[in-house]
Structure 1
Amino acid sequence: MSFNIALSGINASQKDLDTTANNISNVKTTGFKQSRAEFADVYATSIFNAGNTKVGDGVLTSSVAQQFSQGTLEFTENALDMAIGGNGFFATTDDIGSRDMTYTRSGAFKLNDGKFIVDNQGNYLQGYQVNAQSGSPSSTSLATTQPIRVPDVAGAPQSTQNIFTSFNVDARLSPIPVTGGGPPPTSNFDPSSPATYSSSTSANVYDSLGESHVLTTYYVKRAPNTWDVYATFDGKEIDMGTAANANGGAVSANNTIGRRIIFNPDGTPAVTPPDVTFAPATININGNDYAGNPYLPNGAETPQTVQFNFQDETGTTPPTQFASDFEVTTLEQDGTTVGRLTNVDIDKSGLIAATYSNGDVRYLGQVALVRFANEQGLTQIGGTKWRESLDSGEALAGEANTGTFGSIEASALENSNVNLTKELVDLITAQRNFQANSRSLEVNNTINQTILQIR
């Protein structure tokens, strides 16, 4: 029996050595959780044995328990790297349509050739579906998660339909009088001659194909408190509406219709309440300019109508005429071109937002987090992954940074929670235990030899 006791001690020491060596070898493995060999004594007796004289039967390994303490965070330059600060696991599947979940703390993610977020083994990161504009999730159930895709192109182009602008024109400038006859009077306005206008500004607008064009507006002071507004499209003069709604404005030397705006003595728009600003001008992009050159030679949809609004988008800031320099305070338009991916942001709740070159921001999904009643009951499968088991309990899904779920740190990875100094001390201890049990086995062998040599 003493041989078996010593042998069980050797086996236990070997298990302890193996566990410690495995911890040390994974000291730089992202998301790795150290293990601890746990032992129990072996004791067997019956009702007819004297319990106070019974010796134990050795030791056995009761469990190799993983320790799910938090590892330190290491910050990186990869926007898709993620670390969980607190409780929770990432959920992954090995196929787009699979529901066979594996769970990990390793957040070293990247994009595959299909633009899906995957780990180093090609497993798909699972996330909740969200509203593309607001980012609010439609469900936080694990059954409704799906792989998260980051498209590098944002939607189809949208032609510009509205321009919103508010500005201040300088009341101190001298008027540029109309030189021609009428009606309507013909001015000497010429976009190529700065002497014929007082100020100008430009905005990019988009056609139905997403091509960018430059719409420039020119402001010409005609008399105190009176201004004419002209426009060019890609350098070609274009009408600011029709002669009927020009509000008395002059036409240019090339018979392009301008728009007249008049201010009150206090610098506010001279309009009839409840109006607070000038009526919008309608720019109809169609056909050719005065020289016979087409406005849209690229085959884009025509006519394209752009409403030029003399106010900001909220309708609270109209143009002004004060004794200060010309200044544009608002200049916005509602068209978009095809957007190319420029940036990906992930917040602490796991919400993923993609920014595109056309200014579009879209929410792509929210990273799903999963927790278990008994983390140590998870089945380890390698690759710093685990599977649900009877001992772990069912997977409970939720949103990061809420309740008992940890927060997500973007551009960071969770290091192994192995304490190398402690493991080296444990390694020495396990070696000493192995040597002691080996010595016990050697002593037992010597005793048996002595007994066998008795004559």
Structure 2
Amino acid sequence: MAFETAISGLNAATTQLDIASNNIANVNTTGFKQSRAEFSDIYTGSNLGVSSLAVSRGVRTAAISQQFDQGNVKSTNNNFDLAINGGGFFMLSDSSGTVYSRAGAFGVDRSGFVTNNAGQQLMAFNVDTAGLASGTPVPLQIDTSDVEPKASGSVTIGINMRATAAVVGIPFDSTVAGSYTNSTSMTFYDSLGNSHNGVLYSVKTGVNTYDSHLLVDGTEVTPTAGGVITFGTDGKILTPASGVVAYDPFAIAGAAPLTLTLNYSGPTPTTQYGDTYSVNALDQDGYTTGRLSTISIDETGRVFSRYTNGQSRQMGQLAMANFANPQGLRQAGNNAWIETFASGIPLVGTGGSARLGTVQSGALEDSNVNLTEELVKLILAQRNFQANAQVIQTEDRVTQTLMNLR
């Protein structure tokens, strides 16, 4: 009997050694979660029906459970290195289906898919025009094509006219400095992304009254209606009532005609105050073509591509998952797990929602193995092994004594 009990103890000590050695081997593995052995004693029944005389038959490994506590987060210089602060897993796709991982060392393959070093593709939600995640997660693919240009159309202008400026008494001529009160330059873009020089001239023709003249590449553009701006005694625009001046289409060789609308009543409206002329706001909605510059990922997992023309696009939002019982997940290798009946079905969402942690770009989560603790476990497992081996030796000597009786 003692032989069997001691053998179970040797097996348990060996299991403990195996687990500790695996933890130590993965002390530098990104996203690795340490395991621990959980043991229970064995009883095979009572002696002669008296439960108080029941004798244990040894020990068995009841479970090998993984510890999903947070590992240290280490900063890197790669935007595609991702760490999760809190609960949850990245969703990855491979030939066998969907797997889950805390290891966030990703890159872009030749087809533009975001993958790890095992070739597993990072999953993300598609986003609608409002940037909201929707649908079923799909492999995240980075679009490296250029952004098509957008022709200028709406221009927002916020300037302050000098209330004490003198009335101009000569006809407007852009080449004559005294024929206008002030001027403001800007850049417009046509449908092909080519830039065009624009200059807006203001000519004070009377008390609180200005004529506006818009020139594109030196040629004046005709306003659809008037182009006269007047101010009230409070310094605010009186006419046009909407604060908007529209212009006739301006022909451009090889491109679509440029149709411009100038809005003087934007968030920073045009006024006539004091004795200082100032340009407080100047913005237009056109841009030239742009090449992909950088990829950034925010804490909720939204993936943005930024371009050389200053534009940005949201390419998707990372899909993350958590489980009712993460310890029920089965290890699949390559720092990944797969769901089981014990883990429950994946609870899929986006970073920072429900029980899902936030995403940190440019960082990796270290292994949560405590090396000192594992070395102590090795010593304890060695002692346990030696003690059980001593039991076998003792039982052997007792058996030999009985066999030597005459």
- Per the normalisation by structure 2, the TM-score is 0.88
**Residues 369/17 of structure 1: CA separation in 2 closer, same or farther (3 Å cut):** same
Where does 1:230-379 land on structure 2 (aligned, <5 Å)? Answer: 230-233=213-216, 236-241=217-222, 247=226, 260-264=228-232, 266-269=234-237, 271=239, 275-277=241-243, 280-282=245-247, 284-286=249-251, 296=253, 299-301=254-256, 303-312=257-266, 318-379=269-330
Moved more, 383-392 or 72-81: 72-81
The Cα shift of 1:27 comes to 1.6
Structure 2 gap segments, 5+ residues each: none
1:399 aligns with 2:396: no
Q: Do 1:239 and 1:283's aligned partners in 2 also have CA atoms closer than 8 Å? A: no
1:116 aligns with 2:108: no
Structure 1 residues 48, 263: CA separation in 2 closer, same or farther (over 3 Å shift)? closer
Q: Where does 1:124-143 land on structure 2 (aligned, <5 Å)? A: 124-132=121-129, 134-139=130-135
Distance in 2 between residues matched to 1:407 and 1:383, nearest whole Å: 23
- Percent identity over the alignment is 38
2:193 to 188, 210, 226: 210
CA contact (8 A) 2:182 2:202 kept: yes
Q: How many angstroms apart in 2 are the aligned matches of 1:166 and 1:90?
A: 47
Give the secondary structure class of the aligned counterpart of 1:429. helix
User: 3-state DSSP class of the match of 2:218?
Assistant: strand
Residues 11-53 of structure 1, C-alpha deviation per residue, up to 9 Å, x if partnerless? Answer: 2111111101111121221211111112222332478566555
Asked whether the 8 Å contact 2:46–2:52 carries over to 1, the reply is no
Under a length normalisation based on structure 1, what TM-score does the superposition of the two structures give? 0.79
Partner amino acid for 1:118? T
Q: Distance in 2 between matches of 1:188 and 1:89?
A: 67
- C-alpha distance in 2, partners of 1:35/1:432? 20
- For 2:360, the equivalent position in structure 1 comes to 409
Specify whether residues 55 and 46 from structure 1 end up closer, same or farther in structure 2 by C-alpha distance, changes over 3 A only: closer
1:269 and 1:381 map into 2 onto residues whose CA distance is: 69
Q: Root-mean-square deviation (CA), in Å? A: 2.9
The change in CA–CA distance for 1:444 and 1:47 in structure 2 (over 3 A counts) is: closer
Match of 1:427 among 374, 378, 382: 378
Deviation (angstroms), 1:341: 3.2
- Who is 1:291 aligned against? none
Residue 397 of structure 2 aligns to which amino acid in structure 1? T
Change over 3 Å in CA distance of 1:432–1:46 after alignment to 2: closer
Task: Provide the rounded CA distance (Å) in 2 between the counterparts of 1:150 and 1:123.
Answer: 15
Whether contact under 8 Å (2:235, 2:273) holds in the other structure is yes
- Does structure 2 conserve the Cα–Cα contact (< 8 Å) formed by 1:153 and 1:338? no
Distance in structure 2 (CA, Å) of the matches to 1:109 and 1:92: 11
Distance 1:40 1:264 in 2: 89
Letter aligned with residue 208 of structure 1: S
How far, CA to CA, are the matches of 2:137 and 2:10 in structure 1? 48
Check 1:262–1:431 CA distance in 2 against 1; reply closer, same or farther (3 A cut).
Answer: same
- Is contact 2:17–2:378 with CA below 8 Å preserved after alignment? yes
Structure 1 residue 73: Cα displacement: 2.4
Q: Residues of 1 paired with 2:343 and 2:232: CA distance?
A: 76
CA distance in structure 1 between the partners assigned to 2:324 and 2:236 by the alignment: 67
Tell me what 1:182 maps to: none
The answer to whether the 8 A contact 2:202-2:213 is kept is yes
Letter of the 1:169 counterpart = M
SS of alignment partner, residue 4 of structure 2: helix
Question: Paired residue for 2:149?
Answer: 157
Is this contact kept in 2: 1:283–1:307, CA < 8 A?
no
Local SS of the residue matching 2:56? coil
More strand by share: 2
1:215–1:430 CA distance, 2 compared to 1 (3 A): same
Pairwise CA distance, 1:175 = 4.8
> Structure 1 residues 146-155 or 218-227, which shifts more?
218-227
Cα offset, 1:222, TM superposition: 5.2
